[in-house]
């Protein structure tokens, strides 16, 4: 059996390859038997990746980051200037007879590697965007898995409700027979029929929850009318529980911690950019001056250098260095938080797996056997209606507890996969 939590191959490919999954959108649903349209988790993943706007917007963010990189690579602009002196005036300097007109070009000579430093910062920002996109993709896939799990849980609740309804109807039939035979009072039949009505109500509620869960899942790919009838998978099929030590070795590969490597490069680039400000830029100007009084032309050249550049750059350098130095502590704090979350999720998965195994192998078989014996005893008049009904209620409650434990375990596994960025495959699933 395929585990519905196993991540498909394409979910591990580079982000650029995910666009290829769009063709799955036009393919027919994988399992269609008896007119029932079944949706797999792989299809839910591919539809969400292809249609969700949170991932589509990264194309524009990358365009913006590329524009920032192109801007950082630009040289200082050339400035054209026109300056007129000694005009207009009065007396001997009236009009433009003694005017001096200067046409010039000016710019800045950047020193200290400022342009290269800007490019390094812009490039680091672009690289960090890729990891941000990957982290968002993992969060989105985790949400798909959670909603898919909700749908499977609702479907299983309907199945449990069907079993309960069948049991209650069987009790009602037996009670009616005993009332007709005069072996039980009329109140027993009425109580059994009321239990049947309650079971029908529970089934109707479970059916409505299933439809709502399907709509919540389809909303992730902006589908307001789901084109599937059920989800494929068995929530009671529990995966193997990875050890906490094995998970801890995978934690360094999580997007939350890998982003610190990109952030370290970005902050170091900002430090280098701040340090370039210690080298003053040379402002230059060159042009021609028209002397109207003598009807001559003269060249004009000028340079200016700001003073005290190192002193003015010092505060920005200290700030950038402090930000870079604090990153190690930020990473340590994040790692502590992630480890605590990971340990809690691993413990919940382990506990849930044990509960499901115990319910499946020990508790439910005995309750089902006891319920069968209780039915025979009731029909033979050796057991009361309440005792039989109580055993049925205990079996139903145990099935719901087993399902709840399984759902809790799968939710913990989804969280583990989100934190580590890894896929844990159930037996029989091809990697």
DSSP string, 380-404: TTSS-HHHHHHHHHHHHHHHHHHHH
CATH number (domain holding residue 157): 1.20.1600.10
Residue 13 lies in a domain: no
The mean pLDDT value of the chain amounts to: 82
Residue 44 lies in a domain: yes
User: What are the pLDDT digits (tens) for 288-326?
Assistant: 887 777 778 888 888 888 888 888 888 888 888 898 888
Q: How much is the pLDDT for 95?
A: 62
**Range with lowest mean pLDDT among 289-293, 331-335, 402-406:** 289-293
Residue 94 lies in a domain: yes
Q: How much is the pLDDT for 115?
A: 85
pLDDT band at 14 (very low <50, low <70, confident <90, very high): very low
Q: How much is the pLDDT for 351?
A: 94
CA 149, CA 406: separation in Å to the nearest integer? 10
Residue 108 lies in a domain: yes
CB atoms within 10 A of CB 286: 13
**DSSP track, 313-349:** HHHHHHHHHHHHHHHHHHHHHHHHHHHHHHHHHHHHH
Domain range for residue 109?
Answer: 32-420
Q: How many domains does the chain fold into?
A: 1
User: What are the pLDDT digits (tens) for 91-131?
Assistant: 665 666 677 788 888 888 888 888 888 888 888 888 888 88
- Indicate whether 381 pLDDT > 70: yes
Task: Locate 404 and state its tokens.
Answer: 């709840």
Residue 9 lies in a domain: no
- Indicate whether 287 pLDDT > 50: yes
Give 2's DSSP letter.
Answer: -
Sign, CA torsion 336/339/345/347: negative
pLDDT band at 35 (very low <50, low <70, confident <90, very high): low
**Range with lowest mean pLDDT among 11-25, 161-175, 183-197, 246-260:** 11-25
Q: How much is the pLDDT for 29?
A: 41
Residue 17 lies in a domain: no
Q: How much is the pLDDT for 6?
A: 43
Residue 114 lies in a domain: yes
CB atoms within 10 A of CB 361: 10
pLDDT band at 89 (very low <50, low <70, confident <90, very high): low
Average pLDDT over residues 223-245: 88
| pTM assigned to the model | 0.77
Left, alpha or beta for 156 (phi > 0: left; psi -120 to 50: alpha)? alpha
Q: How much is the pLDDT for 413?
A: 92
HEC profile for 145-194?
A: HHHHHHHHHHHHHHHHHHHHHHHHHHHHHHHHHHHHCCCCCHHHHHHHHH
β-pairing, 31-33 with 36-39? antiparallel
Residue 69 lies in a domain: yes
Average pLDDT over residues 143-165: 94
pLDDT band at 158 (very low <50, low <70, confident <90, very high): very high
Three-state DSSP class for residue 311? helix
Residue 157 near residue 195, CB atoms below 8 Å? no
């Amino acid at each position: 059996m395929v585990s519905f939590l196993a991540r498909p191959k394409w979910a591990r490919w580079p982000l650029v390859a995910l666009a290829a999954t769009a063709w799955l959108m036009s393919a027919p649903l994988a399992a269609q038997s008896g007119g029932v349209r079944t949706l797999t988790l792989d299809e839910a993943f591919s539809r969400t990746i292809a249609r969700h706007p949170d991932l589509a917007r990264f194309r524009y963010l990358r365009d913006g980051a590329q524009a920032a990189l192109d801007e950082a690579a630009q040289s200082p602009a050339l400035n054209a200037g026109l300056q007129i002196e000694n005009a207009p005036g009065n007396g001997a300097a009236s009009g433009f007879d003694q005017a001096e007109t200067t046409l010039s070009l000016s710019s800045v000579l950047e020193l200290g590697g400022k342009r290269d430093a800007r490019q390094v910062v812009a490039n680091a920002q672009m690289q960090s965007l890729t990891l941000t996109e990957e982290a968002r993709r993992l969060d989105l896939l985790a949400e798909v898995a959670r909603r898919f799990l909700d749908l499977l849980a609702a479907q299983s609740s309907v199945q449990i409700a069907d079993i309960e309804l069948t049991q209650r109807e069987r009790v009602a039939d037996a009670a009616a027979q005993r009332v007709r035979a005069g072996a039980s009072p009329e109140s027993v039949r009425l109580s059994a029929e009321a239990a049947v009505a309650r079971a029908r109500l529970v089934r109707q509620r479970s059916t409505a929850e299933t439809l709502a869960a399907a709509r919540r899942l389809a909303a992730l790919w902006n589908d307001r009318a789901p084109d599937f009838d059920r989800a494929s998978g068995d929530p009671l099929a529990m995966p193997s529980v990875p050890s906490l030590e094995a998970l801890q070795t995978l934690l360094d590969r999580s997007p939350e911690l890998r982003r610190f490597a990109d952030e370290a490069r970005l902050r170091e680039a900002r430090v280098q950019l701040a340090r370039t400000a210690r080298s003053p830029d040379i402002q230059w100007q060159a042009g021609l001056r028209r002397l109207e009084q003598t009807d001559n032309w003269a060249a004009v050249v000028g340079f200016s250098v700001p003073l005290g550049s190192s002193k003015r750059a010092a505060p920005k350098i200290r700030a950038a260095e402090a930000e870079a130095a604090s990153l190690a502590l930020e990473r340590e704090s994040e790692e502590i938080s992630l480890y605590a979350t990971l340990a809690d999720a691993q413990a919940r998965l382990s506990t849930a797996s044990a509960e499901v195994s115990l319910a499946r192998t020990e508790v439910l078989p005995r309750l089902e056997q006891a319920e069968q014996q209780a039915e025979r005893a009731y029909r033979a008049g050796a057991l009361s209606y309440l005792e039989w009904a109580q055993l049925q209620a205990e079996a139903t409650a145990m099935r719901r507890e087993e399902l709840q434990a399984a759902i809790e375990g799968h939710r913990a596994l989804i969280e583990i996969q989100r934190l580590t960025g890894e896929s844990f495959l159930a037996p029989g699933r091809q990697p």
